[in-house]
Amino acid sequence: MITVLIVDDQDLVRIGLRTLIDSEDDLTCVGEAADGLAAVAAAREHRPDVVLMDVRMAGVDGLEATRRITADPDLPDTKVIVLTTFEVDEYVFTALRGGASGFLLKDTKPVDLLRAIRLVAGGEALLAPSATRQLVREFVSMAPRSRRPHPQLHTLTEREREVLGLVAEGLNNEEIAERLVVSPATARTHVSRAMIKLGARDRAQLVVFAYQSGLAD
């Protein structure tokens, strides 16, 4: 069972999301919060697999709440999906750099939202819509001193650095395997090793690290 925490300052939004999630056999809503401070407290109490996080809320906003949750050593397996009304939004970039596993527009179709929750819970990143890679690239290019290689970048093998660049292109394991002419299992191993060495929570952070380290254009 995948557990979900819903964070939004609108009652109707929370009710709608809870109804949708609880209608699925493999998903369950374990809690709700109307602001960032309550979200952090609820995450620590319920330890959900996935947090659906609104960005713009009074008091502690979704960005700060995301940073606190993803940085909490007691919540290593909790993933955050940012919900926003704007596809091109500087808050999205900040959330990704702060540890979010991706973002969705609030008008996303229910079936796509449910699929996203399952993907993120399984360790994947929301690099869809395809604009995500462009958004990350634009943010990193605007951020001061953004081109700072990850301190553990030197621990990667040449193949792992190559794979990191392909992850930043938005390729999944099967596509990486095809590009490198290796098996999907081998590609998955390279990705996993790169995540471990760089301390990445998921593929979304690998993308950010790749751009910051100059391994992707």
Q: Give the per-residue SS3 of the chain.
A: CEEEEEECCCHHHHHHHHHHHHCCCCEEEEEEECCHHHHHHHHHHHCCCEEEEECCCCCCCHHHHHHHHHHCCCCCCCEEEEEECCCCCHHHHHHHHCCCCEEEECCCCHHHHHHHHHHHHCCCCECCCCHHHHHHHHHHHHCCCCCCCCCCHHHCCHHHHHHHHHHHCCCCHHHHHHHHCCCHHHHHHHHHHHHHHHCCCCHHHHHHHHHHCCCCC
| Bridge partners for 27 per DSSP | 2
How far apart are the C-alpha atoms of 38 and 150, rounded to whole Å?
Answer: 32
Q: Helix, strand, or coil here: 215?
A: coil
Two structure tokens written together for 33? 């919060």
Provide the pLDDT confidence category of residue 197 given band limits of 50, 70 and 90.
Answer: very high
Pick from 91, 1, 2: which is nearest to 53 by CA? 91
Provide the pLDDT confidence category of residue 137 given band limits of 50, 70 and 90.
Answer: low
Alpha carbon separation from 129 to 105, 108, 124, 135, 216 (Å, rounded)? 9, 10, 14, 10, 19
Poorest-confidence range of 23-32, 64-73, 124-133?
A: 124-133
Q: Look up tokens 């056999």; give the residue.
A: 25
**Mean pLDDT taken over the chain:** 85
Where is mean pLDDT largest: 18-22, 113-117, 172-176?
18-22
pLDDT beyond 90 at 217: no
How far apart are the C-alpha atoms of 135 and 127, rounded to whole Å?
Answer: 10
Alpha carbon separation from 60 to 7, 24, 82, 102, 118 (Å, rounded)? 12, 31, 15, 20, 27
How far apart are the C-alpha atoms of 101 and 200, rounded to whole Å?
Answer: 10
| pTM for the predicted model, two decimal places | 0.71
pLDDT digits (tens, 9 = 90+) for 49-101: 999 999 888 888 898 999 999 999 999 899 999 888 765 556 666 777 778 88
Provide the pLDDT confidence category of residue 215 given band limits of 50, 70 and 90.
Answer: confident
Where is mean pLDDT largest: 32-36, 87-91, 211-215?
32-36
How far apart are the C-alpha atoms of 165 and 176, rounded to whole Å?
Answer: 10
- pLDDT at position 129 is 43
Two structure tokens written together for 32? 């709700």
